[in-house]
Amino acid sequence: MIPPGETIGILGGGQLGRMMALAAATLGYRCHVFAPEADPIAADVCAAFTQGDFADEAALSAFAAHCAVVTYEFENVAAAPLAAILPHAPLYPPAHALEVAQDRASEKAFVEQLGGRPAPWATVDSPDDLAAAIARIGTPGILKTRRDGYDGKGQWRIMTPADAEALDWPTATPLVYEGFVTFDAEFSVILVRTASGEVRFWDSAENVHKNGILDRSTIPASPAIAAHIPAARALAAKLAEALDYVGVLTCEFFATAQGPVFNEMAPRVHNSGHWTIEGALTSQFENHIRAICGLPLGATALACKGAVMDNLIGDDAHDWPAILSDPANHLHLYGKAAVRPGRKMGHVTRLVL
């Protein structure tokens, strides 16, 4: 058990790290952020910050020497150099979870092995591979980079075989082609798991994306989703167990007429769980900290009848005066200096009481 007062290391300096650090501070921990950028928004609310490259083993080792435990807030970090952390501090979730989740092909193969069902897919390394994948899976579909894609980046919609031929080929990038899933709705399962194997779930939000970016999460999800939750939770718990997982794990699903179709997982706290800050008895951020520190988990039950979380993307952030004019709104701004189209600047949550 890592008692309050100790230092938690966080790899990555974005909003997820920032909200994790705020939850850790509530429990009396100090946080130390390690990130490549000069002025990360998570460091604004942390006790210490090291600027460093995620591949720099010496820097990671020196950072970990100051930490009682290390976690991460985003998964696009090479797993091998993280071994430099382990002589100093445990890394949770384990590096293997990161390896599986950061490659769309290994993630889908892993899920299939455990009985889950992703969209039909194929690995693609060349235009010929893509033609073969389309011949087998059909169109429409989506070509995605295997690694480093997020918020709809690194994705190309292929509506017809002609689209594939006209594609400006992303050279030497390993890709996957996925059949387009006709879904009734999208939802996520967020769980927290302790080192001793205790698992708790939050209620599943119904998620609506715009341009590949999460736009709104709603609790409770529509009745169309409720029927899918038990199977989706069972799969998520199986994935967590197989990974010896410690911390918060998110799995995203499509609700289809044939049952839940696995989309992707994130080995971390997730945007579709931001509503838990006000809407659940214990937030995803606090329970993540509790799990990685070996503290008892807090209750994940709803603290309200429902919640709606809207992301503030790009210029939406300028609406903060109007948002604050409704006293029921919970406004979260991430402190990002530059507003850019498609950039997550903050979110706002409204509870149904």
Report the residue number, 212 or 314, with the smaller CB distance to ligand AMP. Answer: 212
- Encode burial over 271-282: b for 16+ CB neighbours within 10 A, e otherwise: bbbbbbbbbbeb
Distance CA 113, CA 135 (A): 24
Site string for ligand AMP, 202-241 (x = CB under 6 A): -------x--x-----------------------------
How is residue 101 written in tokens?
């989740």
CB contact at 8 A, 14 and 25 = no
CB of 349 to ligand AMP, least distance (A): 20
- Plot region of 244 (φ>0 → left; ψ -120 to 50 → alpha; else → beta): left
CB atoms under 10 Å from CB of 163, counted, come to: 16
Span 115-134, contacts to ligand AMP by CB under 6 A: 119
CB of 191 to ligand AMP, least distance (A): 18
Applying CB under 6 A, the site for ligand AMP has a residue count of 12
Q: Which residue is nearest to ligand AMP (CB)?
A: 181
How is residue 83 written in tokens?
């071994």
CB of 313 to ligand AMP, least distance (A): 14
What is the residue type of 321?
A: P
Please select the residue that binds ligand AMP; options are 111, 142, 175, 312, rule is CB under 6 A: 142
Which has the closest alpha carbon to 42: 10, 18, 23, 26? Answer: 18
CB of 163 to ligand AMP, least distance (A): 15
Report the residue number, 188 or 287, with the smaller CB distance to ligand AMP. Answer: 188
Distance CA 68, CA 47 (A): 14
**Per CB under 6 A, 181 contacts ligand AMP:** yes
How is residue 257 written in tokens?
């007429």
**Per CB under 6 A, 264 contacts ligand AMP:** yes
Contact stretch for ligand AMP (CB under 6 A) within 61-69, 175-183, 242-250, 302-310:
175-183
142 pairs with which residues across the strands?
Answer: 157, 178
For ligand AMP, the binding residues (CB under 6 A) are 119, 142, 152, 178, 180-181, 186, 209, 212, 252, 263-264
